[in-house]
Amino acid sequence: MEKIVITGMGTVNPLGLTVEETWKNIKNGVSGVGPITRFDTTGWLAQIACEIKGFDAAQYMPAKEARRRDLFEQYASAAAQEALQDSGLEVTPKNAGRIGVLVSSAMGGLTSLQDAIFTLKDHGARRVSPFLIPMLMANGASGLIGIDHGIKGPAMSVASACASGIDGIGLAWMMLRSGMIDAAVTGASESTVTEIGVAAFDRIGALSRRNDDFSMTPAPFDKNRDGLVMGEGAGILVMETESHAKARGANILAELAGYAATADAYHVTAPSSEGAGGAEAIRQALATAQVNSDEVGYISAHGTATPLNDASETKAVKAVFGERAYKTPISSTKSMTGHMMGATGALETIFCVQAIREGVLPPTIHYETPDPDCDLDYVPNVARDAEVNVAISNAFGFGGHNAVLVVRKYR
């Protein structure tokens, strides 16, 4: 079967407004955590987040158009522009129907929905924006990217909680393999740093509350981890069949070699304690890529810094890799970007591509105290030089959704 390759990448996230800026900060172990500035958190138990800094939607679209888009749609549009420019893929009337847009979101336009509810309560129904529906619908980013660039192939969004980004990329991968399309703009976008978003995640006990000393949080896999820190942003890939990319002389960055998804069927928020569902997703993804576990040189962990997730993911990796697990580097870049919900898996896939291209493993920062339940090589605190031919990206979401991608050096 024909290879599916990655030819372009784009991102907007708490560590940068481009792939280059973001990757530089990842390698340097920069933290994106800080006090929430979007709203007053006085009296809140969780008061920190990884917010995007310096983003100006008017640099990517007319100001009038930006006002009609939720933040998650603005982020997706900006990242898609970078990815398409990076790929050099030109959309024409001839090929527009052979290109798909599969940009996912777990939460959709949460910012716009919340603002509209405040408006409804304070000013009545007639003041609610007529643009609210396209601003809040989870498929809004896919639709708008298609409109922006004249892309007329399949356009849709996958909603599978924190696995949304990887599932969307996986669906694009399957469409490309089936011959339905020749190229795809895919990934995910999220903007959940809102009053309702932060309050809701804090109420289920998921958020770190180290408000006064946030210099060491989130701390994935550390014994003293106390929860995730919410992030925001988008990660977008341009993917193509190998023959399509080669025919137009594209610069191929890496091969997307495998994908799999499973469900825990266990609990709506908690992962299976033994990590069985995650393990099966990893196992199946490696099988689709025809890759042995001993070929994997890097694992991009889901690594949320919640007590249950990190222990469960560690068990999942051990179940698949056996003794090899102790020799396979695994790290969580959420220690720097925060948890961008559905978008994080897409961004972390970009980091897998960069690790393969540059031979650098992203660190897990804020790692101080080893946890007996998390005893693997988490690339603590400092990036590491290492040759990587195969990397995997894990995403395990609420609802028991597990999704895994396999990225391979292109030959």
Active-site residue set: 162, 302, 339
| Sequence-ordered list of residues with C-beta below 8 angstroms from that of 404, at least 6 positions apart, any chain | 166, 258, 259, 260, 261, 278, 281, 282, 284, 285, 392, 393, 394, 395
Segment (H or E) for 64? helix 63-67
Neighbours of 407 (CB within 10 A): 28
Please, are residues 324 and 295 in contact by the beta-carbon 8 Å criterion?
Answer: no
Amino acid at 200: A
Measured torsion, CA atoms of residues 154, 61, 252, 190, in degrees rounded to the nearest 10: -70
- What are the distances in angstroms from CA 253 to CA 4, 98, 137, 146, 242? 11, 21, 32, 23, 11
Whose tokens are 């890799």? That residue is 321
Helices (H) and strands (E) in the chain, counts: 13, 14
Question: C-alpha angle 183/184/190, rounded to 5°?
Answer: 170
* Cα–Cα distance, 46 to 386 (Å, whole number): 37
| Sequence-ordered list of residues with C-beta below 8 angstroms from that of 46, at least 6 positions apart, any chain | 198, 201, 202, 207, 208, 209, 211
How many residues in total does the chain contain? 411
Question: What would you report as the CA-atom Rg of the chain, rounded to the nearest whole angstrom?
Answer: 20
**Secondary structure of 265-284 in HEC code, one letter for each residue:** CCCCCCCCCCCHHHHHHHHH
Residue 138's φ and ψ, nearest 5 degrees, are -65, -25
- CA-wise closest residue to 200 among 107, 70, 313, 308: 107
- CA-wise closest residue to 211 among 56, 49, 332: 49
